[in-house]
Structure 1
Amino acid sequence: MLYYKQLKVLFLLIILKSCFFAICVAKIGFSTKTPYEFIHPPQKNVIEDDWYNAHTDQYTCGAVHVSAVIRHGARNPGESDSKRIANIHMRIKDNIKDGDKFKLLKDWTNQFPVNNNKNLNDAGENEQHHLGQRTARRLKSLFLEEDMSAVQFMVSSAKRTEDSALAFYEGINEEIPSEAPEEFDSEVNDENLRFHTMCQKYINSVENNSTALKEYKVFGSSDLINQVLEKVIAKLGVEKNVLEPADLKTMFVICGSEMAVFKFSPWCDLFDDEDNEIMQYWSDLKKYYKNGPAYRITWEQSCPLVAELFTIMDDVIAVIERTEEDKDTEGYLLGNMMFGHAETLGPLYAALGLFNDTVPLTSKNYHEQKNRLFRTSEILPFSANIMFVLYECEENEELLNDEEEEDDNPDDDYRIQLFVNEQPMLIPGCKNLLCPYTDVREWYSDISDDCHFEYLCDPHKKMHNEL
């Protein structure tokens, strides 16, 4: 364990070698095993209320609610990956010719517990804790005079999501301490956050359908993957029959998992920048066809989650409007924090029209997709998150022209802004980052209002699987 910590300096030198004045030639990442700090470096100076206040030329707004869907933090590799990497390591160790050159790899031992159920690790806990802190700081005035009972936490049945939610909660409380903090409580809801395990049509048509991932499988036997394999074999100096393409996937997974926790992995040394890009694309193909926009049922099954997001924001607005007439009206949810998986966020992105490339990813267009939107290392790393901030707005009367009149339509009093991995993002169909809530509500009404999950997921109904 100690030698990993000592090699953090080496890790920094590797990064500096690839980057000059923060301009990197290659986008180094590890697909869905990418540490969150790779795409969002820790911020020491987060501006207080940075997200609380918003304005346009016509409106001044204050946040009244935030809804978030957050992937769990960095986790340990699963038992199957741990067993596979142990087997790969044994084969390499027994056949490697230059043991001194790859001493770190030869002496490598698995630092992750084998029977861990893919649990959250220390790095993942830190990711979530700091994300909670930053969110609370950016929306400090929203939470400052309220207790945490006004914030709802929803998780899946996987323990790593509950542990992530708890770490996030503790981060909020550290930023905004309370004299009598509420005991952490969460609701388990797999229909909203683990729908891919409950939708039988999806399971039959995509997850268990060998042809659904055809492009991913074809790429796995392509010249590009064989090129990576040959380079790795040449670096190690082992016989060609020692490793096969499937081994590269496991090595890449362990590389990313160790980078998240230890900031260094000897497995990463086997992949140069070009190899990393090819391995990322191979992983992206799998997620694109399994959990992305490729098949209609994949993103349609997220409709309970989309409905939950908008129903809660509808309720917030309704309570605010009633409160103006009845001061005794009970409060509303300030925060709706939901913790799921890459399999939660991928379909949600597609349902919202985010990161949908004009040209589909295929096994044949790797070179044409270098600047693709669907890059999982950037949109689905550990602790990936999407947040909707709802604002109540007032018109700036002094900015109105003489010919203009103040708008009394209550539908125009609310605006919404989207953040993905803490970066503002234009909602499809909006002209500005701060968009009228009624417009956004209408654009997504088909999937949010007409969600009949049991009917949708009936395997006997016809599936639309065109790209």
Structure 2
Amino acid sequence: MKFLTSTVLVLFYVKNVLTLECYWNTGCKYKYFGSKTPYEIVRGDIRDSFVKTEECKAVSVWTIMRHGKRNPSQSFAHYIQHILKYKDFIVSSYEIGNSSLCAQDIENLKNWNVDLTMLSNPYVITTEGYQETLRLSNRMMETFPELLKKLPEKDYSFLPGFGRHLEVSARAFIEGLNQNLTLENDTNDYQFVAPYTTCGKYQEEVRRNPDIYREEEEYKKTADYLNTKERIERKLGLNFTFSNQDITAIYDLCRYTWDGISDKPSPWCAIFSAEDLQVLEFIDDLRHYYRNAYGVSQYSKIFGQMPLADLMRKFEEAKNGKGKKIVSYFTHATMMDMILVVLNLYKDANPLVGAHRDMNRKWRTTFLSTFASNMIAVLNKCSKYGQNEYYNVAFYWNEKPLLDLCNRGVCSWQEFEDLFKPFLNATIDFCEFKWANVD
């Protein structure tokens, strides 16, 4: 009898452990998905972050931002379509007792239906992505009501880079300002928004060079990654081995179908532990690091100067009473990464490498170049107790103060000039030839 009692107790204990590990009732889910993280998860709020003082008022705002959440590209959609065929196998594996997924997680997966437009319309901005950008401009309108209300055409400039999804994001931003405003057309090969898109040398040596993913491939050979792969396969209890592309496709299903605005997790995320998600997040960091950022600084340091030189020019004009009240550019994650490199921000003491996952790394695409990521610069005109007027510039990244610049994100005009004036000499003459096949 004692033996039976202890057996019951052990089974009861195991059951409770399994229940506590279920995804559906996990109180604090891991929400960080690299560059595909919903903006709502990591953003600040410019209404709270904006540095307000009695003696200063904003006279010009300059922004550059990544497009909102979009559908995956055609190639990634193809792999996602392939992995969807495994959904019934995953459910069947649970029903015959091979899977360690929880009952509710399986039920949520069974009841989930794919949005076919996500797979058939590559790069199209999602409803959530539209709202990400629209709500950002709503908050900016609340922050700078006197500056941004009733904008005549001479007082604004809204310019998207290449891609319909950038144009749609720009239109969402305009809608959030509640005015009948117009977009510009880029006639300068995206020189401020995305100069790398038409740079032949960069496209050949970096974007079309598979060697830039060498560190990522090295990481996929480490025990860190292989253990994650094994955990996923063991958890699902299927009788076949996943390829690395299969793992990526499941990860994409998790992050593309997580609704950040509604804070509604994707049932596909139940397949991963928090540790698994951290491993996959690091892969995204490696990709960005060696394609856009410090791993290719000979390019990123030049391209990133182009929009920042424009910022210098625009604020000089505004300081002289001839500028615009708002200038906004709409770009890609690549450009956001490059701007950070130029400003020497979030640079790790040692380069990221595939041989070792640095748990404390500064370069985290989750917080730097997520969907709708943005840099906001504000030119303030100040006058204190009858003294001479002076200017300062405040910087924000994803609506949070950019604390590592100047005095916790606020630069005197002299500091701003010293930092940004050298960018006026930036040139992309090194490109050698124009890349015509922009994609």
**TM-score normalised by length of structure 1:** 0.78
Output the CA distance in 2 between the equivalents of 1:396 and 1:69: 34
Which residue among 301, 304, 316 is the counterpart of 1:302?
304
* Kept after mapping to 2: 8 A contact 1:40/1:421: yes
Match of residue 425 from structure 2 = 450
Match of residue 417 from structure 2 = 441
Output the CA distance in 1 between the equivalents of 2:385 and 2:244: 62
Superposition map of 1:411-422 within 5 A = 413-422=390-399
- SS of structure 2 residue aligned to 1:192: coil
| Bigger mean CA offset, 258-267 vs 209-218 | 258-267
* Kept after mapping to 2: 8 A contact 1:66/1:387: yes
Do residues 211 (structure 1) and 211 (structure 2) align? yes
Match of residue 140 from structure 1 = 145
Output the CA distance in 1 between the equivalents of 2:362 and 2:130: 28
Gaps of 5+ in 1: 1-12, 20-25, 174-180, 321-330, 398-405, 460-467
Gaps of 5+ in 2: 1-21, 96-102, 434-439
- SS of structure 1 residue aligned to 2:330: strand
Match of residue 50 from structure 2 = 51
* Kept after mapping to 2: 8 A contact 1:301/1:457: no
Superposition map of 1:128-207 within 5 A = 128-144=133-149, 146-147=151-152, 149-173=154-178, 181-188=179-186, 190-207=190-207
Superposition map of 1:326-365 within 5 A = 332-365=323-356
* Kept after mapping to 2: 8 A contact 1:52/1:142: no
Match of residue 270 from structure 1 = 271
Which residue among 25, 35, 38 is the counterpart of 1:35?
38
* Kept after mapping to 1: 8 A contact 2:199/2:431: yes
* Kept after mapping to 1: 8 A contact 2:294/2:300: yes
Output the CA distance in 1 between the equivalents of 2:80 and 2:110: 13
Match of residue 9 from structure 2 = none
Aligned length in residues? 398
Do residues 391 (structure 1) and 380 (structure 2) align? yes
Classify 1:421/1:280 alpha carbon distance in 2 versus 1 (closer, same or farther; 3 Å). same
Per-residue deviation at 1:103? 4.8
* Kept after mapping to 1: 8 A contact 2:401/2:408: no
Residues 91-119 of structure 1, C-alpha deviation per residue, up to 9 Å, x if partnerless?
45357642545354456542141331311
Residues 105-135 of structure 1, C-alpha deviation per residue, up to 9 Å, x if partnerless?
4565421413313111100111111100001
One-letter amino acid matched to 1:232: I
Classify 1:270/1:359 alpha carbon distance in 2 versus 1 (closer, same or farther; 3 Å). same
* Kept after mapping to 1: 8 A contact 2:219/2:356: no
**Cα RMSD after superposing both structures:** 2.7
Classify 1:89/1:146 alpha carbon distance in 2 versus 1 (closer, same or farther; 3 Å). closer
- SS of structure 2 residue aligned to 1:383: coil
**TM-score normalised by length of structure 2:** 0.83
Per-residue deviation at 1:376? 0.9
| Bigger mean CA offset, 264-273 vs 140-149 | 140-149
* Kept after mapping to 1: 8 A contact 2:36/2:69: yes
* Kept after mapping to 2: 8 A contact 1:36/1:383: yes
One-letter amino acid matched to 1:229: K
| Bigger mean CA offset, 109-118 vs 251-260 | 109-118
Superposition map of 1:56-95 within 5 A = 60-91=55-86, 93-94=88-89
* Kept after mapping to 2: 8 A contact 1:97/1:236: no
Output the CA distance in 2 between the equivalents of 1:423 and 1:148: 29
